[in-house]
Amino acid sequence: MEAIIRSVEYDRPQGLTCGVGEAWARVPDAPSAERRRELKEQIRALLRREKAVLVAHYYVDPELQELADETGGCVADSLEMARFGRDHAAQTLVVAGVRFMGETAKILSPEKRVLMPDLDATCSLDLGCPADEFSAFCDAHPDRTVVVYANTSAAVKARADWMVTSSIGLEIVADLHARGEKILWAPDRHLGGYIQKKTGADMLLWQGSCLVHDEFKGIELDLLRAEYPDAKILVHPESPEAVVALADVVGSTTQLIDAAVRLDAKRFIVATDLGILHKMRLAAPGKTFIEAPTAGNSATCKSCAHCPWMAMNGLANLAEVLERGHNEIFVDPAIGARARLPIDRMLDFAARHKKRVQASGDLAKDGALFSNVGAA
């Protein structure tokens, strides 16, 4: 079935958030080695003083990832970050990632203090899906089940029936499709198109995209593959269809790291934010990881495989936020309570799915591992 397409502009600033150029301009300079050591010491002490836990995404600075790991926090994909923040006993969560991740943590734990190194760190998918326009879109299609990607504002989630992340979106849409439901999907057109193709579901797609993954080029990737015929290709499903079509594995960030460990290959080409390479190299020592190409025909390279908003998280602003206790995330309680419904639905589904898969012994289908091996 052909997906129905609606066109909207997506890369424009709204509200408090900052656009691509401004984000790059605000990326903190790398401090000297000596200063980095001092800042890390300070952050460890402040995390203890504030009884806080650091929840980081794989795309942020490797030194922030290491700090999260060594201080009992987590480095994870957006689904695990949400679960970890909700389940951890700490009353202060410091989210090193982008705004929707901080908002999701706050929605799931309204009683906790959620801080972020820079509150303006946003996401092109979130920017491209303003709540008022999205709400009008939903109103125009009342017969459809509304499924939104995690990379959206609290207000957009508050209009949804389900929230999904790339770890579990395919399974949830397949389940809804099996129940005969028609889907209204937002905002990532590439992930939506991929899921539509895999499940055959009737999906009406909002036309947002991730400006990092949008830059990967199928033609160039094909040329690189010819150079390294032994390499396996790992692709995040926010990438364009031509890139996904060349993948050996399509999956969330955690699923791609798992694939790098499990697959019997020595070399991998990776089409996602280059921040992930740090964890891949740690998890699979002795293997070689090559960045998928963003150059070539029609390249604009607004991001060159690195998210400008993720890059806004640094050691200095992390230390400052812990010291001063500012940059707290607030979500309107009524919006938060409504937005929690689709998130809880996803987390419950993911827990049931994991149990089912574990009971069947089919680990290759475990959403927390890599469910889409060979599924491009």
**Binding region for ligand SF4 (CB under 6 A):** 98, 123-125, 151, 210-212, 238, 273, 307, 309-310
CA distance 356 to 219: 39
| Binder of residue 309, out of ligand SF4, ligand 13P, none (CB less than 5 to 8 A by kind) | ligand SF4
Q: Is 18 annotated as a binding residue?
A: no
Contact (Cβ atoms closer than 8 angstroms) between residue 212 and residue 305 = yes
Smallest gap from Cβ 334 to ligand SF4, in A, equals 26
DSSP state of 238: T
Residue type, 213: H
Q: How far apart are CA 224 and CA 234, in angstroms?
A: 13
Torsion of CA 329, 331, 332, 336, to 10 degrees: -160
Q: Which of 92, 91, 98, 93 is nearest to 77 (CA)?
A: 98
For residues 6 and 205, the answer to whether their CB atoms sit within 8 Å is: yes
Q: Is residue 238 close enough to count as binding ligand 13P by CB under 6 A? A: yes
Coil/strand/helix, residue 57: strand
**Which partner from the list ligand SF4, ligand 13P, none does 209 bind, CB cut-off 5 to 8 Å by kind?**
none
| Residue 368 dihedral angles phi and psi, to the nearest 5° | -85, -10
Show the binding pattern over residues 125-164: x = contacts ligand 13P (CB under 6 A), - = does not. Answer: --------------------------x-------------
Element (H, E) at 36: helix 33-49
Nearest Cα to Cα of residue 61 among 75, 47, 78, 72: 75
Q: How far apart are CA 22 and CA 19, in angstroms?
A: 5
Cβ proximity to ligand 13P, 137 vs 370, nearer residue:
370
**Could you tell me how many residues of this chain bind ligand 13P (CB under 6 A)?**
10
Q: Give the one entry of ligand SF4, ligand 13P, none that residue 165 binds, where binding means its C-beta sits below a cut-off of 5 to 8 angstroms depending on kind.
A: ligand 13P
- Decide which of ligand SF4, ligand 13P, none touches 124; Cβ closer than 5 to 8 Å per partner kind: ligand SF4
Which residue is it, tokens 């408090």? 16
Per-residue binding string, ligand 13P, 343-362, x by CB under 6 A, is --------------------
Tell me how far, at minimum, the Cβ of 367 lies from ligand 13P, in Å.
Answer: 11
- Note whether 123 and 99 are within 8 A (CB): yes
User: At closest approach, how far in Å is the CB of 39 from ligand 13P?
Assistant: 25
Of residues 241 through 300, those in contact with ligand 13P by CB under 6 A are 252-253
Which 79-98 residues touch ligand 13P, going by CB under 6 A? 79
Residue 239 is a binding residue for ligand 13P (CB under 6 A): no
Interaction between residue 77 and ligand 13P (CB under 6 A): yes
Q: What residues make contact with ligand 13P under the rule CB under 6 A?
A: 77-79, 151, 165-166, 210, 238, 252-253
